[in-house]
Amino acid sequence: MSLREPIRSFWQAWGGLNPLCVETTWGQVVTDARFPRVWEANRAAVLRRHARTSASAIRGRLLPALRDANATHETVEFWDPPTSCPALEELRAGAAEVGIDVLMVFRGDPDALRETERRVDVREIARPGRSFWTVYRDSRIEFGGDMSRETLGQLVQRDREVLVPAGLRWFVGHADGRPAGYASLISLEGVGYLDNVVTVPELRRRGVAAACVAAAVRTGTEAGDRLVFLLAERDGNPQRLYERMGFRTVAPVESFTTPLGSEVRS
């Protein structure tokens, strides 16, 4: 099996944003030594030939690259894997952290989202300033995980220095006169990827997340994106929200992350 086009082309372009992006027969390996604690900047993505690729073949390409980047974790993602996938099963058994998500594509009518968007004051921020980055940094904890101050700093720095110049856009919803939540959108190869959907805890259940998503989808499609997609935790509340808005699940995504020992990074 292979990850479907045009989403595969998007991820290939996304990988190219990193200083090291090595295409393989099964996918790609990317690293960025500037952000050794950011997992998505230092990982392997299996996009095709899932059942014919071994875990040792994946790690044989990934681990040397991670060592050169002084990365702190080993992360491998399987995009739309088949039911039987020996490499996935082997890596799952040894992983410290397993993520099970679904890839969702917008199949609805963008114009039908306008009413959802109007329920909240949503503004696109063309040039995020210091105040936005402070709010964004503090809100990253809402995505889960135990992140150190250094990790959070690298996440924000990567967004500012790599993704914003590549076209990352922010849609911020306001409530009670202040920022209440946001969503981001980046378009590569004519495909929009919607990410970073979050609402501050005390202002939830007011439709902020839905309004930000609606604004991002409409903006992307009006700008020419032929497809807009996102990732959601499988069977979670966000997945059900996105389904109501017109997103449909098209593929599973499994990821495995394990801290690297000093013998690998030295």
CA distance 20 to 44: 12
Q: Which of 151, 156, 149, 150 is nearest to 130 (CA)?
A: 156
Asked whether residue 144 carries a pLDDT value surpassing 60, the answer given is no
Mean per-residue pLDDT over the chain, rounded: 93
Q: Which of 252, 265, 261 is nearest to 77 (CA)?
A: 252
CA distance 203 to 37: 30
Mean of pLDDT values over 148-154: 91
CA distance 173 to 195: 15
Mean of pLDDT values over 238-244: 96
pTM of the model: 0.94
Burial readout 220-236 (b: 16 or more C-beta within 10 A, e: otherwise) = bbeeebebbbbbbeeee
Residue 263 confidence (pLDDT): 46
Please indicate whether residue 1 or residue 3 has the higher confidence score (pLDDT): 3
Lowest-pLDDT range of 41-45, 75-79, 204-208, 244-248:
204-208
Asked whether residue 266 carries a pLDDT value surpassing 70, the answer given is no
Asked whether residue 206 carries a pLDDT value surpassing 50, the answer given is yes
CA distances from 150 to 147, 154, 156, 195 (A): 8, 6, 10, 22
The answer to whether 83 and 50 are in contact (CB under 8 A) is no
CA distance 111 to 214: 9
User: What are the chain's domains?
Assistant: 7-102+253-265 (no CATH), 108-245 (3.40.630.30)
Please indicate whether residue 145 or residue 41 has the higher confidence score (pLDDT): 41
